[in-house]
Structure 1
Amino acid sequence: MKALGKILGLFFLGLLLIVVALLFALTHLFDPNDYKDEIRQIARDKANLELQLRGDIGWSLFPWLGLELTDATLASADTPDKPFADLRMIGLSVRVMPLLRKEVQMSDIRVDGLNLNLQRDDKGHGNWEGVGRPAQASAPQQTPSEPAPSEETPPSQPSDKPAGQPVKLDIDSLTLSNSRIDYSDAQKGQQFTVENIELKTGAIREGASIPVKLSAFFGTNQPVLRARSEIEGQLRFDRALKRYQFEDLKLAGEASGEPLKGKTLNFSAQGQLLVDLAANVAEWNGLKLSANQLRALGEIKARELGEDAKISGGLSIASLNLREFLDGIGVELPAMQAGDALNQFELVSRLNGSSKGMMFEELNLKLDGSNFTGKLGVADVSKQALRIDLKGDKLDLDRYLPPKTQDSAAAARKAEVKDSIAGAGKDGSTPLPNKPTQQAWSDEKVLPVDQLRKLDLQLALSLAQLTYDKHQLSDVNLKANGRGGLITVEEARGKLQGGSFVGSGRIDVRQAEPMLSVEKRVSRMPLEPLLKKDDQPSPIKGLLDLDAKFNTRGNSQKAWIEALNGNASFVLNDGVLVDANLEQQLCRGIATLNRKALSNPPTGKDTPFRELKGSLSVRDGVAHNPDLKAQVPGLAVSGNGDLDLRVLGLDYKVGITLEGDQREMPDPACQVNERYVGIEWPLRCRGPLELGAKACRLDQDGLGKIAARLAGNKLTEKLEEKLGDKVSPDLKDALKGLFNR
């Protein structure tokens, strides 16, 4: 038995030596380079691939089935003269015995100098198209000897055998170096490049963590952009469960180019990535993001992966100087009134959206000392569906508005107003000011018409305090919506120093020329803060009640005023005509009729009034006021005239009637007697609105008629004294009519 065992051992040893010798002879005596033509033909027939092997083919058979190719090119057999890939070297080897168990155990896979040049021509055809499908052979003619298909031939049935298990991978490492990918599209003129690709992995085994490190340079021409990026982490996958993880992901790099306007963006990201195709979800947990000064934390989750994936998560952006950050990535901000605007920005929010858009919900936003809560975002980017629902404690809007500048027209009007104010004086003795002629409004475009036509807007804004044009508004609420070029302001309300306003309106940009309309109601609104300017006080004070309805067209302040039409009614209560004394004007008229000179200098006091009211009918920028009424202690004031809103000028005829007030007048020369009670004293008011009542002067023609009427009354009285009842009533009336003309 021992001898038999020894013989069998020697037999198998000899057999093994023979096999080894045969394999040695096969790998050393057989040269695969002799079969390059056959290999190329197989590539054409099986994969429609044109393979050029310029270098030698190296190979091994056992225990590793190894292959090494050098200096090879690949092209579609449809376009063999246009290679889409060339390769300096690829080397790989597989253990033979595990293959029998459907296990792939490979040593290091090395790829060096791989260049992919993918091109799509002006007809949309790619130079890689057709690769992978077998070459189309001509259909052979059916011969009589070949049996014709018969209906009795049963169709092939699917196999009842269970699908085989996926091949188990076991690769020591994968190395890709000195590689490049170029893509160009002649139709769109686009080019994309990935160069200096360096990829290194550890052992690739399913279910185990695979160390991965990748670096590359990216470039595009539309827009011109250059970027460098490095990715590092632990890759884990399970093909049976369709689950893929990238643990401890670290991404870093920098970018520059046209979108950044010559600036450089340094970026990095960290976190844990998971894609579960079976559950149709993806997650990025423990997200840490930085971009220049920006630092953010968060998490992102996507479900129902596909064209309309649902996205949720959270985001927190640490406080940063937003102005410096935007400048560092090439964003050119418009000039603002405050040089330090956008210096402080901080955000915490939940994310909720889809592949179409993103909403920031449960938002907590801090901007330059203002705090906002609510939600905002873009529900659909393609439709510009903007959604805003915010509540804030305060907002100084002036900080973010463009600096106030004066063009030549504005400067000319300012000079005109200044001359009118200087020439008006305080006692009303100067000549009547001229009508203003200089345009008061800018002709620069205001509305971004193209953007508004595409905008889908839903806006709800509530502010405890709003600063606009140096006015402190409170309890401000604004609701608006828009779609298809029609923007509707459903409500705009707020308060100003005890007064309130509420309004609505719409902007219609569906046609070539924008159309605007507004309805507004103002209750007990103080006029002084609205009319006061830095270089001059308000010409009138009081609490305004206003009901107005206007419409206009155009896209500039000048066009809006010139096309303004509508109606309004107003009441101004508890008011004051500042630095304009109607009593002094009246005193001057009475002194003239008394033929006495004023002995006291003008006091320059204001004129208080209980009520000033009337209605306005606006046509093409000119407001006609036919029924002006004012109640001044001891006086009744009425008038009519026009407000030319185009040049902010007034032109009025005003009558002042003594109501019998026996108060002492400011000068003995204008003491009132019973003859002056009930007479309407005429004033003419003309000039810039900024003058207010200082634009008013006694109407000399009207004053002459009063003098004639008073003279007629006095003559009639004397005749009555002389003749008594002998004068007929008809004669009295004729005498009065003679002097009243």
Structure 2
Amino acid sequence: MKAFGKILGIVLLALLLLIVAGGFILTHFFDPNDYKDEIRQLARDKANLELDLRGDIGWSLFPWLGLQLHETGVASAQTPDKPFADVQMLGLSVRVLPLLRKEVQMSDIRVDGLTLTLRRDKNGTGNWENIGKPAQPAAAGTAAPATQPAPSGQPTPPTSEPRDPLKLDIDSLTMRNSRIDYSDEQSGKQYTVEGIDLSTGKIREGSSIPLKLSAYLGTNQPVTRARTELTGNLRFDRALKRYQLEDAKLSGEASGDQLHGKTATFSAQGQLLLDQAAQIAEWDGLKVSVNQLRALGELKARELDKQPKFEGGLSVAQFNLREFLEGIGQTLPAMADGSTLGKVELSTRLSGTANSIQLGDLKLKLDDSSFTGSLGLADIAKQAIRVQLNGDRLNLDRYLPARTAKAQEAASATRKAEVDATITSATQGNTPLPPSPTQQAWSDAPLLPMARLRALDLDVALKLGQLTLNKLPIENANLKLRGQNGVIDLQDMRGELYDGRFNAKANLDVRQDVPLLSAQKHVANVPAERIVEAWGEKPPLTGLLDMDSNITTQGNSQRAWIDNLNGTASFVVNRGVLLNANLEQQLCQGIATLNRKALTAPHGGKDTPFRELKGNLTFRNGVASNPDLKVAIPGLTVNADGDLDLRVLGMDYRVGVVIEGDKSDMPDPACQVNERYVGIAWPLLCRGPLELGAKACRLDQEGLGKIAAQLAGQRLNKKIEEKLGDKVSPELKDALKGLFKKQ
């Protein structure tokens, strides 16, 4: 037995020496460069490839099966003059004996100067799609026979059992100075990955494989450039279809059209997992930074083979959103306060699909405001915004465009000069009645971003403990807003204001060139002067306002909205004051005129208090008709009929004042009210800029003359009664009195 074993060992050694000798002879006396034409033809027949073997082919056989290619191009046999791959040098070697055990043991794989040029033509066909398909010989006039089904009754050949995957054992993979170009003629888009440098450690299945990859990325639509570097440890198990990238870190810089000359520095790190068997992907220990933005979280995706869904958590540390956006070339719309968006912080739970994202359990801090709730995009492609938020407070004035009075002043400069001149000349007393204003008070500047509003898909529900809007502090504010297909519907807006309350509904239709607006509003117990001041105007009165209105208008500017204003409104102002209006002085002056006496001192203060002011308005193209204005003033009752021209902020009223007389402790003799004056509607005319309020009112001299004639007739009738007594018949006395009645 020992001799047999010795003989067998000698035989095996002789065979091994024979194989080594054969390998030596093949590699030293057989030059593959002499068979380039045969190699090219074999590539055409078996793989539908056109090889351009410009450089030398180097090879070894045993114990390493090695191959080196230099300056080699690869193209499809259909387009041999358009190579899709070109390599300066490709070197690899495999141990021969382990291949017999289905093990791949390789030394370093080296790739230098690889260029892949991938293209899709106008028909969507890629220049790589026919690669690897053996060429089919075409017989003239005949079609390739279809696959014949197995005859009935014959057993179907057994399918081959799945093979065990080859076991990989590679010392390293190195790629240098490589490039990938992809272009699509249908879309015109181009993508480039250049300067590719890849290096790995020992590649073994189930083991941690360190890798480092760096490259420059570029696109043309939009033009974007990015430098990237990826490091980590790769681990894979092909049997379980499980792939992990541990301690992954991606970093780099990006620039391009969308950044408008700015540069974004970014990084992302964490633990990545792809489990194809379970169709899930995970990213744990997520850390992301873009310039000064810092975020932590985790993400998990599932149903990767269907419609992928993802969920996870995200926390963003406090940062300056304004500086961040400016740093990536994004321009914010003009805001009244340039310090807004300086403090932003959030934490949330993420969920969504490839075309939607939802931020639930949201906790958001925005400057001095805090919010909870949810927000998201129900359809990213359509920018369908969904918001449900509860907040403590929000000063919206800070985020809205500043009221740069340039446009307004340009539109009303002439009017302001006109009003200023009128105010200067309008003093209490017998000055002439101010003229009606004629200059437009509103701007023609466009207010609505029509294109953006038409594309808006919005559903918002917002609750705030305090909302500041137009300097009005609204408590317990609630807002529900929907916008879709060019129609924005304010379903409800309500709140409390200065111990009063209000609610409103509105609808804006921007589907056509001229937008249409309708609104309904209810106001109860709200200071009227505060509302007027919110519009930047000087209030003519104070008091608690109750109002109901239903209006419509159209256009896209202040002037258009006022010029096309139509609808109705009813109002009551309680416990108010007519500012800068001494009606008592005006009336005393009139009574003194009738008494033919001079006032000894001014009467009343600079303002006139009232118990109630009420009326109804009918709007027609910017002019409000007010036929039933009533004001209840201590000692007076005022009835008025007139118009408010909102286009020029002017008024024109005929006023009747019914007086009870001077009831002060020390009545002025000139202003003493004869019982004949009580119950008479004393006439006033009010005309001029709305800013003047009651200062624009003057005694109606013509009407006052008629009253004087009426009073004179009453005096004569009394004397007739006293003189004639019972001396004449009643019929004659009535006839004589009738001669002095007001005609």
- TM-score clears 0.5: yes
**Distance in 2 between the 1:591 and 1:141 partners?**
124
| Partner-residue secondary structure (3-state), 1:415 | helix
1:263-302 Cα deviation digits (max 9, x unpaired): 1111111111111121111111111111111111111111
**Equivalent residue runs for 1:72-151 within 5 Å:** 72-122=72-122, 124-139=124-139
Specify the alignment match of 1:65 in structure 2: 65
**Equivalent residue runs for 1:517-556 within 5 Å:** 517-532=518-533, 538-556=539-557
Identity of paired residues, percent?
A: 62
Specify the alignment match of 1:269 in structure 2: 268
| Partner-residue secondary structure (3-state), 1:134 | coil
| Partner-residue secondary structure (3-state), 1:295 | strand
User: Does structure 1 conserve the Cα–Cα contact (< 8 Å) formed by 2:58 and 2:69?
Assistant: yes
**Distance in 1 between the 2:584 and 2:358 partners?**
64
Aligned CA distance change for structure 1 residues 40 and 535 (closer, same or farther; 3 Å): closer
1:597-635 Cα deviation digits (max 9, x unpaired): 223145543111111111111111111111111111121
**Distance in 2 between the 1:307 and 1:228 partners?**
33
Specify the alignment match of 1:205 in structure 2: 204
Specify the alignment match of 1:234 in structure 2: 233
Specify the alignment match of 1:486 in structure 2: 487
Specify the alignment match of 1:174 in structure 2: 173
Report the TM-score when normalising by structure 1: 0.95
**Distance in 1 between the 2:732 and 2:363 partners?**
86
User: Does structure 2 conserve the Cα–Cα contact (< 8 Å) formed by 1:665 and 1:671?
Assistant: no
1:544-572 Cα deviation digits (max 9, x unpaired): 01111111122222212111111111111
**Equivalent residue runs for 1:475-624 within 5 Å:** 475-532=476-533, 538-601=539-602, 603-624=604-625
Aligned CA distance change for structure 1 residues 577 and 324 (closer, same or farther; 3 Å): same
| Partner-residue secondary structure (3-state), 2:676 | helix
Aligned CA distance change for structure 1 residues 529 and 41 (closer, same or farther; 3 Å): same
1:676-733 Cα deviation digits (max 9, x unpaired): 0010011111122222111111111111111111111112222222223536558647
**Distance in 2 between the 1:681 and 1:229 partners?**
87
Specify the alignment match of 2:366 in structure 1: 367
Specify the alignment match of 1:310 in structure 2: 309
User: Does structure 2 conserve the Cα–Cα contact (< 8 Å) formed by 1:543 and 1:575?
Assistant: yes
User: Does structure 2 conserve the Cα–Cα contact (< 8 Å) formed by 1:720 and 1:727?
Assistant: no
| Partner-residue secondary structure (3-state), 1:254 | strand
Aligned CA distance change for structure 1 residues 285 and 722 (closer, same or farther; 3 Å): same
User: Does structure 2 conserve the Cα–Cα contact (< 8 Å) formed by 1:660 and 1:678?
Assistant: no
Report the TM-score when normalising by structure 2: 0.94
**Distance in 1 between the 2:509 and 2:701 partners?**
50
Matched, 1:325 2:324: yes
Aligned CA distance change for structure 1 residues 306 and 524 (closer, same or farther; 3 Å): farther
**Distance in 1 between the 2:105 and 2:205 partners?**
12
Deviation, structure 1 residue 114: 0.4
Aligned CA distance change for structure 1 residues 518 and 122 (closer, same or farther; 3 Å): same
Deviation, structure 1 residue 536: 7.7
1:144-164 Cα deviation digits (max 9, x unpaired): xx9x97984667725255311
**Distance in 2 between the 1:6 and 1:713 partners?**
160
User: Does structure 1 conserve the Cα–Cα contact (< 8 Å) formed by 2:230 and 2:250?
Assistant: yes
**Distance in 2 between the 1:737 and 1:331 partners?**
86
How many residue pairs get aligned? The number is 737
Specify the alignment match of 2:297 in structure 1: 298
**Distance in 2 between the 1:609 and 1:4 partners?**
133
Q: CA RMSD in A?
A: 2.4
User: Does structure 1 conserve the Cα–Cα contact (< 8 Å) formed by 2:443 and 2:559?
Assistant: yes
**Equivalent residue runs for 1:644-723 within 5 Å:** 644-659=645-660, 662-663=663-664, 667-723=668-724
**Distance in 2 between the 1:166 and 1:737 partners?**
129
User: Does structure 2 conserve the Cα–Cα contact (< 8 Å) formed by 1:235 and 1:246?
Assistant: yes
Aligned CA distance change for structure 1 residues 633 and 733 (closer, same or farther; 3 Å): farther
1:35-86 Cα deviation digits (max 9, x unpaired): 2112212222222221111111111111111111110111111111111221
1:239-276 Cα deviation digits (max 9, x unpaired): 22121111101111011122111111111111111111
**Distance in 2 between the 1:35 and 1:224 partners?**
46
Aligned CA distance change for structure 1 residues 156 and 342 (closer, same or farther; 3 Å): farther
**Distance in 2 between the 1:5 and 1:249 partners?**
55
Aligned CA distance change for structure 1 residues 15 and 493 (closer, same or farther; 3 Å): closer
**Distance in 2 between the 1:730 and 1:545 partners?**
55
Matched, 1:632 2:619: no
**Distance in 2 between the 1:665 and 1:123 partners?**
103
| Worse-matched range after superposition: 657-666 or 345-354 | 657-666
**Distance in 2 between the 1:619 and 1:142 partners?**
84
Specify the alignment match of 1:338 in structure 2: 337
Aligned CA distance change for structure 1 residues 733 and 310 (closer, same or farther; 3 Å): farther
Aligned CA distance change for structure 1 residues 5 and 317 (closer, same or farther; 3 Å): closer
**Distance in 1 between the 2:666 and 2:185 partners?**
93
Specify the alignment match of 1:258 in structure 2: 257
Unaligned residue ranges in structure 1 (runs of 5+): none
| Worse-matched range after superposition: 569-578 or 524-533 | 524-533
Specify the alignment match of 2:446 in structure 1: 445
User: Does structure 1 conserve the Cα–Cα contact (< 8 Å) formed by 2:320 and 2:343?
Assistant: yes
**Distance in 2 between the 1:327 and 1:451 partners?**
22
Aligned CA distance change for structure 1 residues 150 and 589 (closer, same or farther; 3 Å): closer
Matched, 1:38 2:44: no
| Partner-residue secondary structure (3-state), 2:624 | strand
Specify the alignment match of 1:50 in structure 2: 50
**Distance in 1 between the 2:535 and 2:361 partners?**
41
Q: Which amino acid aligns with 1:225?
A: T
User: Does structure 1 conserve the Cα–Cα contact (< 8 Å) formed by 2:584 and 2:603?
Assistant: no
**Equivalent residue runs for 1:144-159 within 5 Å:** 152=151, 157=156, 159=158
Q: Which amino acid aligns with 1:132?
A: G
User: Does structure 1 conserve the Cα–Cα contact (< 8 Å) formed by 2:720 and 2:737?
Assistant: no
Deviation, structure 1 residue 463: 0.9
1:212-248 Cα deviation digits (max 9, x unpaired): 1000111122222211010000111112212111110
Matched, 1:28 2:31: no
Specify the alignment match of 2:412 in structure 1: 410
Q: Which amino acid aligns with 1:524?
A: N
**Distance in 1 between the 2:331 and 2:624 partners?**
42
Aligned CA distance change for structure 1 residues 736 and 466 (closer, same or farther; 3 Å): farther
| Partner-residue secondary structure (3-state), 2:114 | strand
Unaligned residue ranges in structure 2 (runs of 5+): none
Deviation, structure 1 residue 372: 0.8
**Distance in 2 between the 1:126 and 1:11 partners?**
55
**Distance in 1 between the 2:214 and 2:149 partners?**
60
Aligned CA distance change for structure 1 residues 53 and 273 (closer, same or farther; 3 Å): same
| Partner-residue secondary structure (3-state), 2:165 | coil
Deviation, structure 1 residue 392: 0.9
Deviation, structure 1 residue 191: 2.4
Matched, 1:422 2:424: yes
**Distance in 2 between the 1:349 and 1:360 partners?**
6
Deviation, structure 1 residue 21: 1.3
| Worse-matched range after superposition: 83-92 or 3-12 | 3-12
**Distance in 1 between the 2:668 and 2:536 partners?**
33
Q: Which amino acid aligns with 1:375?
A: S
**Distance in 1 between the 2:32 and 2:55 partners?**
12
Deviation, structure 1 residue 174: 0.8
Deviation, structure 1 residue 412: 3.1
Aligned CA distance change for structure 1 residues 599 and 387 (closer, same or farther; 3 Å): same
Deviation, structure 1 residue 328: 0.7
| Worse-matched range after superposition: 603-612 or 620-629 | 603-612
Q: Which amino acid aligns with 1:589?
A: G
Deviation, structure 1 residue 673: 1.1
| Partner-residue secondary structure (3-state), 1:137 | coil
Deviation, structure 1 residue 194: 1.2
